[in-house]
Amino acid sequence: MLARIPLILAGFLILLTTHAHAIEARLPAMNALADQTSVSGLSSGAYMAAQFHIAYSEKLVGAGFVAGGPWNCASTFSFMSPLSNALTTCMDPCKYTWFICPSAFFPDGDELANLAKESGAAELIDAPANLMDDKVYIFSGQSDKTVVTKVVDSTSDFYRSIGLSNNQIIYNKSVDAGHAFITNDAEDSACNVTQTPYINNCNIPQAQKILEHIYGELNEPVAITEGDLLRFNQRAFIESDITSMDDDAYVYIPQSCKTQQCRVHVALHGCRQGVSAINTTYIEQTGYMEVADSNNIIVLYPQVKASHVNPVNPRGCWDFWGYTSNNLPPFDYAYKTAPQMQAINQMIERLISPVEDIK
């Protein structure tokens, strides 16, 4: 038994060392390209991506939305609370109306675009004029009963009303997909289902499609990634006590980005998809890292977790209706002052900082 102790101790030390290597104490400064950042997301992550794209448009070059509606959707009907709008208008306004489903029940992309212009003039968000050279990818699955296609249609309407041309927008609603991020991985769920972990095989590499539309022609994804997936202290970027954001988040850094400047893409999970719910499944199975590895793209994965009191966010969704203000006015979830968006912005700022700026 005594002879085995050194072996057991050695094994423990190896395990400890490996675990420590997998955890980055803080997000590293990477001197990333400051003018090549983009964002995408699924479901509540798509809503957050839309909010971030509009609020921080000066810093971004494009965005991707999978099963998500337009910026500030939860403000659609002023006689309803943002929470009520989020649960009905921004998901399936006609779910309980059976046979009556007028277009007036759905978000109005044109009206929300006008509101964005007013908000830009009031400096609550960056000027929408910054969006004029951006690229936008939009997707809605035909079997998605969670955020129905007619809601996602308003996202396309919003960007067209803002002034983007047909060439700048790709909107795919021709696939019989459920409420999920889609891939071309046969091990993922069937295309038309809606079930955890909400990653479906539809024979379409969606992460690649999003990044190609935003950045142009890219190299083929690698089969095996060689970069570093780092877990870092996300709390360092959170200023509010009411955010529902997790303690840690992740970033994928290709080996090439250690010696050259790279782009940054922010990938936002949907409800019940954070690491506290499904570990790193969304991070590792959506296909972003494989594309990033061969195309000099750093991928940032901010994290939200479920919370039941202060704030109430039982499904671990991103805030697109005001829970970060405890559902009380004044609501700022769609503006630059929103605490989750401020945290994401600060993470991007860290990644684009010169290496020597972070000691």
Using the Cα atoms of residue 119, residue 271, residue 301 and residue 134 in order, give the sign of their dihedral: negative
Q: Which residue has the tokens 């060439």?
A: 167
Catalytically active residues are 43, 144, 179
Distance in angstroms between the alpha carbons of the first and the last residue of the chain? 46
Is the bond preceding 330 in cis, omega lying within 30 degrees of 0?
A: yes
φ, ψ of residue 160 in degrees (nearest 5): -65, -40
The pair of structure tokens assigned to 316 is: 């671990």
